[in-house]
């Protein structure tokens, strides 16, 4: 095109496609419209050409400003809404659209939004379609922690293979991060917050994309979403055939702050994922019927019932009032266990994790009381995340060792956490400072390290992994300045 001074402008929802056309070309990522530009686009389509009386026009503007907020800066949604209202001549017609703005946007003739979004969905490979549909579990405007999401994908078997790049072996979590990046590049998922290590910390779905996701998941019998503030009992029983996944949200109404899932119905017997958001289950005993449950995230915890769910891969009962977790030792298939609680001191038997040979991510409460000796960690060389670990009573040298065999140097010189990426050490209430250097030196691939509690000193720079990207210190009471210039 050098001899014509012509230029080609290519538009696509798929960032990867644009990169393939010209890897060295400039890719301009269009942001969502701000409130001012959203209103300007809407007003140009629906109001500016009107000749109605001033008072009617002003009332239309009031309604329009309320409705355009629902579009949340998405030009396609604003165009559909503005085009619709341009055909409505009376204030009563505008009020009718205002009362049902959500359904009007989705059901327009010509090129409905669901069809446009469906084109992007249909273009996804099969494995990404399943990962995308799984996002329908989360409520509207929910900031999804990507580490948790990927751990759920792994637990459900949606990330099903390891891949090799050169001499490095990708973990399932690495593949999951790549899947998420592909969904972001395809404009299916929005990035929320980013970590200091340049990874995605949280993500979310645009409201219209989430509506499409939930409807698609429902039509394919992939997921059943229940909002107890809106759904009637008939709607709760709506799915046809076996239900594999259920998400329950709502609870804002004081009359509906608990929920009972019809567990006696055979359609729920093969449930694989159950996620609850701010909604306690009225009858915890119903969980006994879900023998095939792999993923459970809930507000309440009944140890004897959870203990029977032997196929659980992901268990999150954070921010609950549970004080003992001794009954969890039967869950041998667990890959992720999240017990984080801020203010409750939890009794943790030293052998409760001993038989969890598949454990990859362990999040302990901030205040843990390890009983009967040192905490025994299974397959420590495969652990990727350790949070709120009391290092002074952690034994990885000999899983059978008791308190009488406590050794001065916690870590053997030849031991390494080969896969550990995130380590958060917590020490509270000890009379002497803890030496954390041996533990840190054993983590050759760590990129996130947090030390909470009094420690002797920081490891020397050559004793810390070169991959370390984030270091946080809380109440360490260091006597020497580690950053002295």
pLDDT, tens digit, 9 for 90 and up, residues 433-442: 667 777 777 7
- Measured distance CA(478)–CA(362) in Å, rounded: 27
Q: List the structure tokens of 103.
A: 């359904």
- Measured distance CA(115)–CA(119) in Å, rounded: 6
pLDDT, tens digit, 9 for 90 and up, residues 132-153: 999 999 998 899 999 999 999 9
Task: Report the candidate in 386, 369, 368 with the shortest Cα–Cα distance to residue 377.
Answer: 386
Prediction pTM value:
0.77
Please report, for residues 203, 231, 274, 286, the alpha-carbon distance to residue 294 in angstroms, rounded to integers and kept in the order given: 23, 25, 8, 15
Q: Quick one: CA torsion of 42, 44, 50, 53, rounded to 10 degrees?
A: 60
Range in 107-121, 275-289, 305-319, 368-382 the model is least confident about: 107-121
- Measured distance CA(354)–CA(330) in Å, rounded: 10
CB 51 within 8 A of CB 10: no
Confidence band of 366 (pLDDT split at 50, 70, 90): confident
The secondary structure of the chain in percent helix, strand, coil, rounded to multiples of 5, reads: 35, 15, 50
pLDDT at 404: 30
- Residue 245, number of CB atoms within 10 A of its CB: 22
Query: What is the pairing mode between strands 190-191 and 202-204?
Result: antiparallel
Give 455's strand partners: 434
Q: Quick one: CA torsion of 141, 142, 147, 150, rounded to 10 degrees?
A: -80
């Amino acid at each position: 095109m050098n001899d014509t001074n012509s230029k080609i402008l290519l538009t696509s929802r798929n960032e990867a496609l644009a990169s393939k056309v010209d890897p060295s070309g400039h890719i301009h990522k269009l942001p969502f419209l701000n409130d001012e530009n959203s209103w300007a686009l809407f007003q140009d389509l629906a109001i500016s050409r009107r000749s109605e009386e001033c008072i009617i026009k002003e009332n239309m503007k009031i309604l329009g400003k309320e409705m355009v907020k629902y579009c949340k800066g998405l030009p396609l949604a604003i165009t559909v809404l503005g085009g619709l209202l341009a055909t409505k001549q009376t204030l009563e017609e505008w009020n009718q659209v205002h009362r049902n703005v959500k359904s009007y946007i989705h059901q327009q003739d010509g090129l409905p939004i669901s069809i446009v979004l469906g084109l992007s969905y249909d273009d996804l490979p099969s494995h990404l379609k399943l990962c995308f549909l799984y996002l329908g579990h989360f409520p509207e405007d929910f900031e999804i922690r990507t580490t948790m999401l990927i751990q759920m994908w792994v637990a459900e078997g949606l990330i099903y293979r390891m891949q090799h790049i050169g001499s490095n072996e990708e973990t399932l979590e690495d593949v999951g991060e790549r899947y998420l990046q592909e969904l972001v590049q395809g404009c299916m998922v929005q990035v929320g917050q980013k970590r200091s290590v340049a990874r995605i910390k949280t993500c979310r779905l645009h409201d219209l994309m989430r509506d499409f996701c939930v409807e698609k998941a429902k039509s394919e019998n992939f997921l059943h979403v229940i909002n107890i503030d809106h759904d009637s009992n008939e709607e709760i029983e709506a799915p046809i055939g076996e239900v594999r996944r259920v998400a329950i949200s709502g609870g804002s109404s004081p009359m509906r702050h608990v929920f009972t899932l019809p567990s006696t119905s055979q359609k729920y017997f093969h449930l694989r994922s159950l996620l609850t958001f701010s909604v306690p289950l009225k009858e915890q005993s119903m969980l006994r019927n879900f023998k095939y449950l792999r993923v459970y995230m809930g507000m309440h915890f009944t140890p004897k019932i959870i203990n029977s769910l032997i196929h659980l891969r992901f268990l999150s009962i954070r921010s609950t009032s549970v004080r003992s977790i001794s009954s969890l030792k039967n869950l041998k298939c667990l890959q992720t266990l999240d017990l984080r609680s801020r203010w409750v001191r939890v009794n943790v038997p030293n052998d409760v994790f001993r038989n969890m040979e598949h454990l990859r991510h362990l999040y302990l409460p901030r205040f843990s009381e390890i009983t009967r000796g040192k905490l025994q960690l299974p397959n420590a060389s495969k652990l990727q995340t350790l949070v709120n670990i009391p290092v002074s009573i952690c034994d990885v040298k000999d899983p059978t060792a008791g308190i009488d065999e406590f050794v001065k140097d916690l870590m053997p010189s030849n031991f390494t956490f080969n896969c550990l990426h995130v380590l958060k050490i917590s020490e509270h209430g000890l009379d002497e400072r803890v030496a954390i250097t041996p533990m840190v030196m054993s983590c050759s691939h760590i990129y996130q390290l947090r030390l909470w509690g009094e420690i002797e000193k920081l490891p020397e720079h050559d004793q810390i992994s070169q991959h370390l990207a984030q270091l946080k210190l809380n109440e360490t009471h260091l006597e020497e300045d580690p950053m002295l210039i």
